[in-house]
């Protein structure tokens, strides 16, 4: 059912990474695992990078999945003082406020440690494949198919103009890195939006039903397919630490 989208994603990854040495921001979730799985087909070299607090989900899953992909994997354990410094540095550079800068703090660390010039991210998956709780609240609120698609399209467009993709690209440029977003292509978006909202929203617990089915199509490890969606700041454990610091007045 989703073969055409799978073909477009594979084509996009190939276009972005072919012949290059790339690093992948790797959480062990379905998006980054799919990016890694496809990138190894076309890139000259692929290396996975994970940053996380000890014993957090991203660390646990990434360490289990990386060997299944047969790719080199570099792990960096974040400490409290380093998290504060990463957040403060991001906020100084971009002035985006707490909610955005807490997401970007682990990415700042990725850019500091990645050796390759090209860095691959799985961003845009949430907006394409309905990965946020609010998307399912729209359905419960009785919004029409057209209204939900309009909201999703608006979120998708914001990503590249002033949202997370714009911010990651901007941060990467400061580190002389080129950020790649194979899922953020209009060709893919148009094909995804042809799928009825209720099909995209079929799995309200794990979320992102369509990309999980695409991952099955390619044969990526079940452990990544079945992992429940966790935003970067939660999967790494950064959110709780930074929120505590904010409440205590250590950061603004």
Flag whether 36 is in a domain: yes
Flag whether 134 is in a domain: yes
pTM of the model: 0.95
**Host domain of residue 182:** 3-239
Flag whether 111 is in a domain: yes
Q: Apex CA 25: angle with CA 19 and CA 26, to 5°?
A: 110
Ranges of H-type helices in the chain: 3-17, 30-42, 57-69, 80-94, 98-113, 125-129, 133-140, 145-161, 164-174, 186-192, 197-200, 209-218, 222-225, 232-235, 238-247
- The number of domains in the chain is 1
pLDDT for residue 238 is more than 90: no
Flag whether 244 is in a domain: no
* CATH number assigned to the domain comprising residue 204: 3.40.50.620
Task: Give the chain's end-to-end CA distance (angstroms, integer).
Answer: 47
pLDDT for residue 154 is more than 80: yes
Tens of pLDDT, residue by residue over 27-78, are: 999 999 999 999 999 999 999 999 999 989 999 999 999 999 999 999 999 9
Chain-centroid distance, C-alpha 50: 12
Flag whether 16 is in a domain: yes
């Amino acid at each position: 059912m989703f073969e055409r989208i799978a073909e477009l994603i594979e084509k996009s990854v190939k276009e972005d990474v072919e012949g290059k040495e790339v690093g992948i921001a790797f959480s062990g979730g379905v998006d980054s695992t799919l990016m890694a799985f496809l990138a190894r087909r076309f890139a000259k070299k692929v290396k996975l990078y994970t940053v996380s607090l000890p014993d957090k989900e991203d660390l646990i899953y990434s360490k289990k999945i990386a060997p299944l992909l047969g790719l080199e994997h570099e792990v960096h354990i974040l400490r409290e003082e380093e998290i504060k410094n990463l957040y403060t540095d991001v906020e100084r550079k971009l002035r985006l406020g707490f909610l955005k800068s807490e997401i970007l703090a682990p990415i700042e660390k990725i850019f500091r440690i990645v050796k390759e010039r090209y860095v691959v991210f799985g961003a845009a998956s949430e907006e394409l494949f309905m990965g946020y709780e609010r998307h399912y609240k729209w359905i419960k609120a009785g919004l029409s198919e057209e209204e939900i698609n309009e909201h999703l399209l608006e979120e998708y467009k914001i990503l590249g103009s002033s949202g997370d993709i714009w911010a990651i690209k901007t941060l990467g440029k400061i580190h002389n890195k080129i950020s790649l977003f194979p899922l953020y292509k209009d060709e893919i978006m148009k094909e995804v939006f042809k799928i009825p909202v209720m099909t995209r929203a079929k799995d309200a617990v794990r979320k992102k039903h369509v990309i999980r089915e695409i991952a099955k199509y390619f044969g990526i490890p079940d452990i990544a397919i079945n992992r429940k969606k966790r935003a970067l700041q939660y999967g790494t454990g950064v959110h709780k630490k930074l929120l505590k610091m904010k409440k205590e007045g250590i950061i603004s």
